[in-house]
Chain A
């Protein structure tokens, strides 16, 4: 059984069809990258998967169960965690407490265990020293790491990463790439990572790449194959990948 199955999802905003019949499958432990230019519908797809939006038609199945009508919080409890494209910390809480929220409600742990797991998650991403600071005081790079720690503390089966490299400098991208590689290798979780540009660092980690354009999936396969697809090359201004 597939961990996640998206079937023919359509999502319209007024006249604009942000998703025009998108289908997608993810296996347990699989790392999939969705590549697509600005406005191609990547974030919208994520929102349909984790319940922020209900699709106009189509279905979403998680572990074989139809979750299309479930609210976002119920899906989180089933094991779907998310790191936002624009970090959304709870600014007046400490960094630790932010992660405790993930462990408590996303991860379903009791308070004491949640605090332990939150500390571990902060150490894992390298934010241990900042645990007692207010989240509102973090730098952008630290906020990205906090998003990841919070999502990991939810002990997800499926991790949704929305352009977690955007806005980082090369050194920080390198660090984040190593982290995500560790997550993929060490933890038994599937991940769906959104990438705006064909950022090599992330794409190379992926077992499979899905290319989106104007609300549709236009190519899919191992990184080399999908990204060298003639239509994909054309969309990216004629530049072949690599």
Chain B
């Protein structure tokens, strides 16, 4: 397996967003879906389990950084690393807690169990009025204070784009490393026949939990980049959106579930496809993503990269892991 292609694509996008700041917004949108698909792939693609709670992970990332910027201005520039870490810790802790209980369930039951997480957390924040409650966190003023005007502006434009790209790149590396090590064999076995895997000495709960926590951490970084950093605000209604899991699944299936390169290609295509389909079916915007997922799953269940891998010689296959 050679991970050069997906890494090269990510590095080109980093170069593009640094060289042409005016394109930063577009790159950020595309990269967000690429990275989201990659994060979703690490759990859903590698284990075959579906988690509907991704919005909660994204929200934990958004609130983690948002809360530190809003309530700890004395930390100055340190709010950035501390906030990112807090977001990852909140999402990872949530994944650990949910996973330790619910990952003992079989896939369909697990999926159902995760549906409630988004709503429960959102209701908690809004209902109990914590972290700004329903009026959210508005961070522009604090960011100017903590980072200085120029750096704050940089962070909310190119800076957040680069963080999204870096997250995607780390997720690519993680997918690649997982696949080429022991745990990759365990996850592939679990995905294909969990009972047989168990009889062969694999503890499914352990490996599923590792993938779940990793996947949650990358989702949290995306939440930090897209909301407090780029939008300079965190609102419960925008961070707790079920759409994210649909987008992530669409990108993953389009490119190829369980592959390293799939989400990269799927993400690059997803935004243009949505724009195009949206123009032809303007009244049915909300239907575009689910229909796309359905069409891909029916027509090419292995996705673009999966189908390619099945058709090319082993030598070329090495290059599109």
A-B contact pairs, 15 of them (CB 8 A): A52-B198, A71-B198, A73-B201, A73-B204, A76-B201, A88-B195, A90-B196, A92-B188, A93-B188, A93-B192, A97-B185, A100-B185, A104-B185, A104-B201, A105-B197
- With A71-B203, A106-B201 given, is the CB distance from A90 to B195 under 8 Å? no
User: Given A73-B198, A76-B201, A132 and B192 touching (CB < 8 A)?
Assistant: no
Tell me the residues in window 87-111 of chain B with beta carbons closer than 8 Å to chain A beta carbons.
Answer: none
In the complex, the answer to whether A101 meets B199 with C-beta atoms within 8 Å is no
Tell whether A183 is near chain B: CB-to-CB under 8 Å: no
Q: How far is the CB of A150 from chain B (nearest CB, A)?
A: 7
Asked if residues B200 and A52 are in contact (CB atoms below 8 Å), the reply is no
Q: Which of A76, A93, A132 sits near B199, CB closer than 8 Å? A: A76
The answer to the question of B193 belonging to the interface, with a C-beta cut-off of 8 Å to chain A, is: yes
Q: How far is the CA of A102 from the CA of B195 in the complex (A)?
A: 14
Query: Does B181 sit at the interface, judged by CB under 8 A?
Result: yes
Rounded to whole Å, the gap between the CB of A160 and the closest CB of chain B is 9
Contact of B200 among A102, A110, A111 (CB under 8 A): A102
CB distance from B249 to the nearest CB of A (A): 20
CB pair A90 B193 closer than 8 Å: yes
Chain B hits for A180, CB < 8 A: none
Determine whether A154 belongs to the interface, using a CB cutoff of 8 Å to chain B: yes
Chain B residues within an 8 Å CB radius of A105: 185-186, 197, 200-202
Residues from chain B with Cβ under 8 Å of A104 in the complex: 182, 185-186, 201
8 A Cβ contacts from A98-118 to B? 100-102, 104-108, 110-111
Residues B198 and A101 in contact, CB atoms below 8 Å apart:
no
Distance in Å: Cβ of B11 to nearest Cβ of chain A: 29
Structural contact, A73 and B314, CB atoms closer than 8 A: no
The answer to the question of A68 belonging to the interface, with a C-beta cut-off of 8 Å to chain B, is no
Q: Number of A interface residues at 8 Å Cβ cutoff, please give it.
A: 30
Q: Tell me the minimal C-beta distance from B58 to chain A in angstroms.
A: 30
Contacts of B195 in A (CB 8 A): 52, 88
A73 touches B202 (CB 8 A): yes
Question: Beyond the given A76-B200, A93-B189, A104-B182, could you list 14 further A-B residue pairs with CB under 8 A, ordered by the A residue number?
Answer: A73-B199, A73-B201, A73-B202, A76-B199, A76-B201, A77-B201, A90-B188, A100-B185, A101-B186, A101-B202, A105-B185, A105-B186, A111-B181, A150-B200
CA distance A132 to B317 in the complex (A): 13
Chain B positions near chain A (C-beta within 8 angstroms): 181-182, 185-186, 188-189, 192-193, 195-204, 314
Complex contact B182–A111 (CB within 8 A): yes
Q: Identify which of A51, A91, A111 gathers the most chain B CB atoms within 10 Å of its CB.
A: A111
Question: Min CB distance, B188 to chain A, in Å?
Answer: 6
Question: Across the interface, do A82 and B185 meet the contact criterion of CB distance under 8 Å?
Answer: no
Shortest Cβ gap from B239 to chain A (Å) = 36
Kindly identify which residue among A51, A101, A132 contacts B189, using a CB–CB cutoff of 8 Å.
A101
A46 to B258, CA, bound (A): 33
Chain B residues whose CB sits within 8 angstroms of the CB of A3 once the complex forms: none
With a cutoff of 8 Å between Cβ atoms, the chain B residues found around residue A92 in the complex are: 188, 192
Chain B residues whose CB sits within 8 angstroms of the CB of A77 once the complex forms: 201
B182 contacts across to A, CB distance below 8 A = 104, 110-111
**Please, how many angstroms separate the alpha-carbon atoms of A82 and B198 in the complex?**
11
Minimum-distance CB pairs A-B, first 5: A76-B201, A105-B201, A106-B201, A90-B192, A88-B196
Question: Distance in Å from the Cβ of B1 to the closest Cβ of chain A?
Answer: 13
| A40 interface contact, C-beta 8 A | no
Q: In the assembled complex, which residues on chain A have CB atoms less than 8 Å from the CB atom of B201? A: 73, 76-77, 102, 104-108, 154
Tell me if A179 counts as interface (CB < 8 A to partner B): no
A5 CB, min distance to chain B CBs, angstroms: 20
List chain B residues, Cβ under 8 A from A106. Answer: 200-201
Contact B188–A72 (Cβ < 8 Å): no
Nearest-CB residue, chain B, relative to A92: B192
Query: Known contacts being A97-B185, A100-B185, A132-B314, is A73 close to B203, with CB within 8 Å?
Result: yes
Q: Please give the distance in Å from B184's CB to the nearest CB on chain A.
A: 10
Other-chain residue from B181, B192, B199, B204 in contact with A82 (beta carbon distance below 8 A): B199
Cα–Cα distance between A102 and B189 once the two chains are bound (Å): 10
Interface residue? A84 (CB, 8 A): yes
Q: Which residue of A lies closest to B314 (CB)?
A: A132
**Closest beta carbon of chain B to A141's beta carbon, Å:** 19
Query: Roughly how many angstroms separate A52 CA and B193 CA in the complex, as a whole number?
Result: 14
Q: What residues of A have a CB within 8 angstroms of the CB of B188 in the complex?
A: 90, 92-93, 97
Give A62-88 as 1s and 0s: 1 = Cβ < 8 Å from B's Cβ atoms. 000000000111101100001010001
Taking a contact as CB atoms under 8 Å apart, the answer to whether A154 and B200 are in contact is yes
Measured CB to CB, the closest approach of chain A to B316, in angstroms, equals 15
A193 within 8 A of B: no
From A91, which residue of chain B is reached at the shortest CB distance?
A: B192
Q: How far is the CB of B311 from chain A (nearest CB, A)?
A: 13
Give A52 to B199 CA distance when docked, in angstroms: 7
Give Cα A102–Cα B201 distance, bound, in whole angstroms. Answer: 8
A77 to B314 alpha-carbon distance, docked (Å):
33
Nearest-Cβ distance from residue B43 to partner chain A, whole angstroms: 18
Say how far A107's CB is from chain B's closest CB, in angstroms. 8
Min distance, Cβ B191 to any Cβ of chain A, angstroms: 8
Which of B193, B199, B314 is the most central at the interface, judged by chain A CB atoms within 10 Å of its CB?
B199
